[in-house]
Amino acid sequence: MTMTKIWAGLVLASSLFAQEAVTRPKILGVAHMAIYVKDLAKTRHFYEDFMGFGEPFTLPKKGGEPGVRIAFVKVNDRQYMEIFNEADRGEGQLNHISFYTENAGRMRDYLASKGVEVPAKVGKGQTGNKNFNIKDPDGHIVEIVEYQPDSWTAREAGKFMPAGRMSEHIMHVGVLVGDLDKSMQFYGGILGFKEFWRGSSSPRMLSWVNMRVPEGDDYLEFMLYNKIPEPDARGTKNHVSMTTPDAQKALEELKKRAAKVGYDRPVEIQVGVNRKRQINLYDPDGTRIELMEPNTVDGQPAPSSTAPAPHPNQ
């Protein structure tokens, strides 16, 4: 074999390796939303006694200080609420959102190849899962996690899921988005999320864009705005939506529990613009938990909005 052929073969092999290295691994679903809280006891009362979720583990405060820094509230074996018992960053209740992938290492390499700022390597979190953080165009921290067989989440598989919990699945997370085009490029163009619905509370301005993860059914909801809410008012926008198969049954149970735990906000069924029945609940810090039926009231899809996107910077 001539040196020319050997060189050509090496170049081809290198090219094929490079293509393989930048292939995006699967993004399978929503892992969790992490929120700041001011009173851990009240927050636990809401999520565990009112909503009926279990708490499989916690992480201690830093520096040997006594107490809990993060409490993990379990929805199912792959989905959690992470409760940060510390002062927020001055941007409202949201700490970060998280999606899980089949391969965190390859995802880091893929994102680096697309010009996304990533850490030098993928680490292991204190709960034993591989993870790393990136930032979206709005500055939201997005954690990418790969579940590990020796992690705490795997150790507690099948446990801490009470039969009376109000939901068994996080359908979507919603976050404030200021520049729709940039977010579409980041989540759609780079991460591979697929748009499937747009909604509006007014024909004059687009309100929501729903983006489904590329290899699953969970989705991210862009919460568009003309003027960004004040930090303490962002909890109704940065929210979690959980599935309920029957809103009426959920309503009846929630009303029974509300009296016992002292939840004094309205508990009622509403029909959203997406024509799905939902119940909006608020934790002690104002973060909205949306219980929503998976199907529309009549089985017919809600039409997608054609309203123009807001331009908050203009």
Average pLDDT over residues 288-313: 94
Tokens encoding 263: 């939840």
Average pLDDT over residues 155-175: 98
3-class DSSP state of 262:
coil
Angstrom distances, CA of residue 78 to CA of 12, 36, 46, 103, 170: 40, 21, 21, 15, 10
Q: Are 222 and 172 in contact, with CB atoms under 8 Å apart?
A: no
Cα distance between residue 46 and residue 309, in whole Å: 35
- The pLDDT of residue 101 is above 50: yes
Percentage of the chain surpassing pLDDT 90? 89
pLDDT grade for 10, boundaries at 50, 70 and 90: very low
Average pLDDT over residues 174-185: 97
Each residue of 264-280: pLDDT tens digit? 999 999 999 999 999 99
- The pLDDT of residue 17 is above 90: no
Task: Give the total residue count for the chain.
Answer: 314
Residue reference for tokens 């029945």: 277
DSSP readout, 27-82?
A: EEEEEEEEEE-S-HHHHHIIIIIIS--EEEEEEEPGGG-SSEEEEEEEEETTEEEE
Residue type, 24: R
Residue reference for tokens 């002292």: 262
> Angle at Cα 256 formed by Cα 253 and Cα 258, nearest 5°?
105
Q: Are 260 and 311 in contact, with CB atoms under 8 Å apart?
A: no
Rg (CA), the chain: 21
Whole-model pTM: value is 0.92
Buried (b) or exposed (e) across 252-265, using 16+ Cβ within 10 A?
ebbeebbeeeebee
Structure confidence at residue 218 (pLDDT): 98
Residue reference for tokens 């899809």: 301
Tokens encoding 45: 């009362």
pLDDT grade for 15, boundaries at 50, 70 and 90: very low
Angstrom distances, CA of residue 51 to CA of 24, 93, 153, 156, 254: 36, 19, 20, 20, 8
- Residue 202 or residue 110, greater confidence: 110
Tokens encoding 312: 């908050």
